[in-house]
C-alpha cells in the first residue's frame, strides 16, 4: 500500500503517522510538503496529520485547506482514492469541503489530552473493517478544537447514511451526536479527531489504533 503524509507548516504528528504507516504497511510513506502542487503517482492513501498547522491562525486547518497541495488531494478524493485526516487533518478536510460540518472550540474550553473511549459505529468502511461493529476501543485525543458541529439536516443525513464511523463513548468535547469521526458520501475519506497512530504498539500503551491501518492494508493492498 503506497501512502503519502502531507506536511503543513506547524504539523507535528506527521512523523507519528509515518511510523504507523511504515510499521503496518511495510512501505515507507512519502512525505509531501504542502506547497507541492502534485502528489506522487500511484498513491493508495493520502494522510493529513495532526498538529497546529499555521498555528491554528484564523481557524484550525483553514489556511492549510487552501494550500497548493490540497487541489491534488481533493482531486484524488473525488477519484475515489482513500484519504485519512487525523485531528488537525480532520479540521483541514472540513475546511476543504471534503467532509461536512466544522470543528469548534471544545465545549468545556479545555485542551483535552487523554485516552478516551470510542465506539466503532460503522465497521464496514475500509478504515474500520478490522474492528467489530459496536466495539469499544480506547484512543488518545489531544485537541482544543474538536467539538464537531453541523446543522440538523446534515447530522440526520450522516446518521441515516451510516457515515458516523466513530462516536465518543464518554463526554469529551461537546461534539454533536458524540461524533468523533465521519466519512464522506463515497466512504473513501475519513476524518477523526482521535489519534489512532499513537496507539499501535502494546509496548507503548496499547494497540487499538493499529487495526485502522490494518483495515486499510487489507482493503487497498
Partner 1 sequence: MKARVTVTLKPGVLDPQGRAIHAALDGLGFAGIDAVRQGKLIELDLADGTSEAQVDAMCRALLANPVIETYRIEFA
Give 30 or 104: the residue with its C-beta nearer to partner 1.
104
Q: Toward partner 1, which CB reaches closer, 62 or 169? A: 62
The SS3 of residue 83 is strand
**Lookup result for grid cell 487499538:** 208
Residue 123 is a binding residue for partner 1 (CB under 8 A) = no
Q: Measured between alpha carbons, how far is 179 from 164 in angstroms, rounded to an integer?
A: 7
Tell the smallest beta-carbon distance from residue 141 to partner 1 (Å).
17
DSSP assignment of 24-71, as one string?
Answer: HHSSPPEEEETT-SSPPTT-SEEEE--B-GGGG-SSTTTTGGGSHHHH
Q: Any catalytic annotation for residue 87? A: yes
How far is CA 19 from its chain centroid? 16
Shortest distance, CB of residue 102 to partner 1, whole angstroms?
A: 4
Instruction: Find the catalytic residue in 34, 130, 143, 195.
Output: 195
CA separation for the pair 70, 48 (Å, rounded): 10
Catalytic-labelled residue, pool 13, 34, 87, 143: 87
C-alpha cell at 103: 470543528
Is residue 94 a contact point for partner 1 (CB under 8 A)? yes
Separation CA 36–CA 54 (nearest Å): 16
CB of 17 to partner 1, least distance (A): 25
Q: How far is the CB of 118 from partner 1 (least distance, A)?
A: 22
Question: What does the alpha-carbon distance between residue 116 and residue 27 come to, in Å, rounded to a whole number?
Answer: 29
Active-site residue, selected from the candidate residues 95, 130, 143, 197 = 197
DSSP 206: B
- Residues 136 to 165: which contact partner 1 by CB under 8 A? 147, 149-151
Q: Which residues bind partner 1 (CB under 8 A)?
A: 58-59, 62-63, 66, 94-95, 100-102, 104-109, 147, 149-151, 174
Residues with a catalytic annotation lie at 87, 195, 197
Amino acid at each position: 500500500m503506497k501512502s503519502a503524509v502531507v506536511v503543513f507548516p506547524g504539523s507535528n504528528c506527521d512523523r507519528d503517522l509515518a511510523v504507523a504507516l511504515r510499521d503496518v504497511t511495510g512501505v515507507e510513506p512519502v512525505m509531501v510538503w504542502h506547497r507541492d502542487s502534485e502528489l506522487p503517482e500511484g498513491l493508495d492513501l493520502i494522510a493529513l496529520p495532526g498538529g497546529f498547522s499555521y498555528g491554528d491562525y484564523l481557524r484550525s486547518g483553514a489556511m492549510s485547506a487552501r494550500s497548493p497541495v490540497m487541489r491534488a488531494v481533493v482531486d484524488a478524493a473525488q477519484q475515489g482514492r482513500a484519504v485519512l485526516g487525523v485531528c488537525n487533518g480532520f479540521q483541514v478536510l472540513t475546511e476543504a469541503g471534503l467532509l461536512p460540518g466544522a470543528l469548534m472550540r471544545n465545549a468545556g474550553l479545555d485542551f483535552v489530552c487523554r485516552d478516551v473511549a470510542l465506539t466503532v459505529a460503522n465497521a464496514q468502511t475500509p478504515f474500520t473493517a478490522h474492528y467489530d461493529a459496536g466495539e469499544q476501543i480506547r484512543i488518545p485525543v489531544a485537541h482544543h478544537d474538536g467539538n464537531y458541529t453541523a446543522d440538523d439536516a446534515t447530522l440526520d443525513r450522516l446518521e441515516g447514511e451510516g457515515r458516523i464511523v466513530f462516536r465518543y463513548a464518554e463526554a469529551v468535547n461537546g461534539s454533536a451526536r458524540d461524533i468523533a469521526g465521519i466519512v464522506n458520501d463515497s466512504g473513501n475519506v475519513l476524518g477523526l479527531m482521535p489519534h489512532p497512530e499513537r496507539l499501535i504498539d502494546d509496548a507503548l500503551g496499547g494497540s487499538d489504533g493499529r487495526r485502522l491501518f490494518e483495515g486499510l492494508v487489507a482493503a487497498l493492498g
